[in-house]
Every structure is written in C-alpha cells, then in structure tokens.
Amino acid sequence: MAGRFTTRPAVTRTTVRGGETAVPAPRAGAATAGGRERTYVPPGPLDLGLVLGPLRRGPGDPTFRTTPDGSVWRAARTPAGPGTLRVTAQGTAVHAEAWGPGAEWLLDRLPAMLGDLDDPDAFEPRHRLVAASHRRRRGLRLTRTGLVLENLIPSILEQKVTTDEAYRAWRLLVRRYGEPAPGPCSDRMRVMPDARTWATIPSWEWHRAGVDDKRASTILRAVRAARRMEEAAAMEPEAAMARLELIPGIGPWTSAETVQRSNGAPDAITLGDLHLPRIVGYALAGDRDADDAVMLELLAPYAGQRHRAARFVLLGGRTPPRRTPKMPRWDIGGL
C-alpha cells in the first residue's frame, strides 16, 4: 500500500453494502469556491470512500456526490441550519470547505466525521478473509456525524424492501421536499427536509414514492420527537439505540443502522437483516443458511468490534451463490 490515500479495486454491490464508495483520485490544485475552509491531518491512513461511503444512499442520493477532482460533497441539515461540505484528500491531509448556516458546525465536527474518535487499532482480525480485507483497507475508520434524523429516516425507508426501492423513495422525497444545498453545487444537491416538512408530506406523496403506510407512520412518529431523537447522538451507542427504539416501528435493525453512522458505534451489529447473517456465515464458516444466532457466534471473537468486523466481511466480497429469485419489487405508487 503506497501512500496515505490509495486506490482500491473495483467496487461491487456487496462492497457497496460494506460502505465502499468509489472516489476519483484527487487532482492537484482543485479550485476553491469561496467557502469557509479547514485543513485536517488524520492520525493515520484515511480512505474517504470507505469512511464517508456509508452516508451515501444510492448512486442518485441528492445529499451526497463525488466529483472527478477527487472531492466528496455532502449536504446536511445541522442544528445551525443547512450546510454543504466538500472534502478533498491533499497529500497526507484533508482539505474541507463548507457553505451555508451550518458551515461552521460541519467544519467543527470534521475530525469526528472522518473517524478521529474511532480507534481502528482496537480491531484484531481472527479469520483469514477478515485479515485480508483489513490489510487491503487500512484507511477504514468509522464516521460519526452527530446527526440522527438524517441517518434514521433513510434507514426506516430501507425496512423490508429492496435497497433500490428505498433509494428511490429517499431520492424522490428529498428532491421534492428538501431545499437547495448552499454553495456552488445547489443545482445538483439538496438538503434533507426539516422535521416540520417531513411531518406535512401528504399521504399520497408517500404513496407515489413507494412508501407504505407503516414506514411513513414510523417516520412521522420519529420527526415529532426530533429533538429527543437528536439527543441520542451524544449518548453511548447502547443507550442511543434504546432511545430510538422507544418509537413504535423502530427496532434493533433500524437503530443499529442509525447509530453506526450517527455515533460511530463499532459494536452495533445489524440484527434482523435478510442477507447479512448468510453473508457472514458463508464467508467465515461456509454456512449459507446462517441466521442471527450463528452470525453472533461467529462474530463473538470480535466483541466490541462486531460492526467493524461485519464491514470487513462485506468488503471481502465473498457471498453465497444465489439459488432463489431476487426479492420482488412492489411499486405501490402504481396501484
């Protein structure tokens, strides 16, 4: 591995599930656009695509984009207001620019978002596949955004549907009800709607986006308690998950998927997933029929780091051969 910022092999659907996003190699002398700026020097290897990849909800996510100059752009609704962040690797440092009312908030929390609060040295591979994946991806750190709703809402949309259906719903709703992102990318990016706007989306618009009443109702309950939900970002992961699960419709799967991103939780393993237990079981023990109990047994040696271990398994790309048709897609908006 040469250098602090390195190229990686081709991204596959499974590695995308592991949080890998392709980021073009940075170009020297990328122009700035008048935003507030900050330079951050990470304590070790840092791969922007691996660290920020879990925040991207599909290739058409209006809140996230990568550009040919090697930049990662992110639009977020912060406690200070909407903001846009552009992050670029420059040698051994990371240069960031931000625009909008939330610019200072985003820049203040840049190190945490890039995994500064994470401790990758606490992880010790126990399986050959995990060790190989870990060796190839030294730049993986766990992001900590400090924002709950922006991770909770898309996770609710992903409940019990295909990822393509969930990504489509997120894309349509944010484009229609979000606001233009501050800064030079306003024509391409949108900031997620605020809690009040989510609460006023008509039922037929949820329907047109392919979101059933159960998921829509769960989101409405969550945004009505938006302040209490956002407080979870400052809690320990277990307490944060318990806080989120007080909302009917939010269970261990959704809470884990949320705190992995908002709190940088290394042990928040996703339970109740359709594919993850079988992928972990097949990759580590050749068991293509593994369930949650088997997955937890296989990941027991990684206690305290089970989410990180699962990411390395996914990034390893070893999945069981398909023997049944894909999960069918149901477009309720066409009914």
CB 162 within 8 A of CB 325: no
User: Which CATH code fits 36-316?
Assistant: 1.10.340.30
CB atoms within 10 A of CB 80: 14
Over residues 203-246, the pLDDT tens digits come to: 999 999 999 999 999 999 999 999 999 999 999 999 999 999 99
Region 161-178: mean pLDDT is 97
Handedness of CA 258, 259, 261, 265 (dihedral sign): negative
Name the percent of the chain lying above pLDDT 90. 83
Name 65's bridge partners.
73
Kindly report the pTM of this predicted structure: 0.91
DSSP structural state of residue 197? H
Do the strands 64-66 and 190-191 form a parallel or antiparallel pair, or are they unpaired?
unpaired
Maximum Cα–Cα distance across the chain: 54
Cα–Cα dist 290/295, whole Å: 7
CB 30 within 8 A of CB 70: yes
- Per-residue pLDDT, 126: 97
Q: Position 296: which residue type? A: L
For residue 5, give the nearest of 76, 86, 87 by alpha carbon: 87
Over residues 237-275, the pLDDT tens digits come to: 999 999 999 999 999 999 999 999 999 999 999 999 999
